[in-house]
């Protein structure tokens, strides 16, 4: 899988752009700065934005090329991020470390679909916030109309509202919405998209 993402990110361009995800940005700006975890962070657009807002950011991904691009972006913007090479099953942090966790277009392999999220909840402080945006199963239809719509081609890796509510069933769900939005994130996410957005509190 790391070879797939290394190949994906092996371009001078930033596949998903330099600007943070809109939902992530809007949500984060409402929170007091603290310590943030960004799993599967890719090329660093959200991590760098958060660091610019005063957050202490820890991130990981399985792609070394993504990490290099993220650190280059952080250096260009004059901020520091702690970015490691890890997978969902190997990343470890002390309990109750983070004030927020951001899962932005994090689509794990089917066999890890639940554990990739739930095993990180103990790392979140009591009162900590979860920010999630991912593609809804209806994205499979939009992908057929627009190759740049984004998201896994395996429909089982896409999410339903029920799946998300079950994954985060034991923390307080503040909002859980399915929306049709227009993405403009690099060349990787372009056009109409069906997404699920969650804000939850431990």
Greatest C-alpha distance within the chain: 44
Which 3 state secondary structure label does DSSP give 115?
helix
Residue-wise pLDDT for 128-158, tens only, equals: 999 999 999 999 999 998 888 899 999 999 9
Nearest to 45 by CA among 67, 17, 23: 17
pLDDT at residue 4 in the model: 86
Order of strands, sheet of 172-185, starting from the edge strand that comes earlier in the sequence: 82-85, 56-61, 35-38, 98-104, 124-135, 189-201, 172-185
At residue 185 the predicted structure's pLDDT band, cuts being 50, 70 and 90, is very high
Pick 93 or 149 by higher pLDDT.
93
pLDDT at residue 1 in the model: 66
Do the Cβ atoms of 188 and 24 come closer than 8 Å? no
**In terms of residue numbers, what domain contains 150?**
2-201
Residue-wise pLDDT for 10-54, tens only, equals: 999 999 999 999 999 999 999 999 999 999 999 999 999 999 999
CATH number at residue 105: 3.40.50.150
Q: Answer whether residue 73 shows pLDDT above 90.
A: yes
3: which residues sit within 8 A by CB, 6+ positions away? none
What is the signed CA dihedral for 200, 195, 97, 35, rounded to 10 degrees?
-100
Nearest to 142 by CA among 157, 155, 127, 129: 155
Measure the CA–CA gap between 83 and 109, rounded to whole angstroms: 22
Residue-wise pLDDT for 57-66, tens only, equals: 999 999 999 9
% the chain with pLDDT above 70: 100
Residue-wise pLDDT for 76-92, tens only, equals: 999 999 999 999 999 99
Q: Answer whether residue 2 shows pLDDT above 80.
A: no
pLDDT at residue 130 in the model: 98
pLDDT at residue 140 in the model: 94
Domain count, the chain: 1
Q: Residues 114-148, buried b or exposed e (16+ Cβ, 10 A)? A: eebbeebbebbeeebbbbbbbbbbbbbebbeeeee
pTM: 0.96
């Amino acid at each position: 899988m790391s070879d797939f993402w290394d190949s994906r990110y092996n371009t001078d361009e930033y596949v998903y752009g330099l600007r943070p995800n809109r939902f992530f940005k809007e949500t984060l700006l409402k929170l007091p700065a603290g310590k943030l975890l960004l799993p599967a962070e890719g090329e660093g657009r959200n991590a760098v934005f958060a660091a610019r807002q005063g957050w202490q950011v820890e991130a990981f991904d399985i792609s070394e090329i993504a990490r290099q691009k993220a650190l280059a972006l952080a250096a260009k913007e004059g901020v520091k991020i702690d970015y490691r090479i890890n997978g969902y099953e190997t990343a470890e942090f002390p309990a109750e470390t983070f004030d927020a966790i951001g899962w932005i277009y994090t689509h794990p392999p089917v066999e890890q679909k639940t554990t990739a999220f739930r095993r990180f909840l103990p790392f979140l402080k009591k009162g900590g916030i979860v920010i999630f945006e991912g593609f809804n199963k209806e994205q499979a239809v939009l992908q057929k109309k627009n190759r740049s719509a984004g998201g896994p081609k395996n429909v089982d890796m896409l999410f339903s509202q029920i799946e998300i509510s079950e994954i985060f069933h034991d923390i307080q769900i503040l909002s859980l919405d399915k929306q049709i939005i227009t993405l403009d994130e690099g060349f990787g996410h372009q056009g109409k998209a069906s997404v699920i957005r969650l804000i939850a509190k431990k």
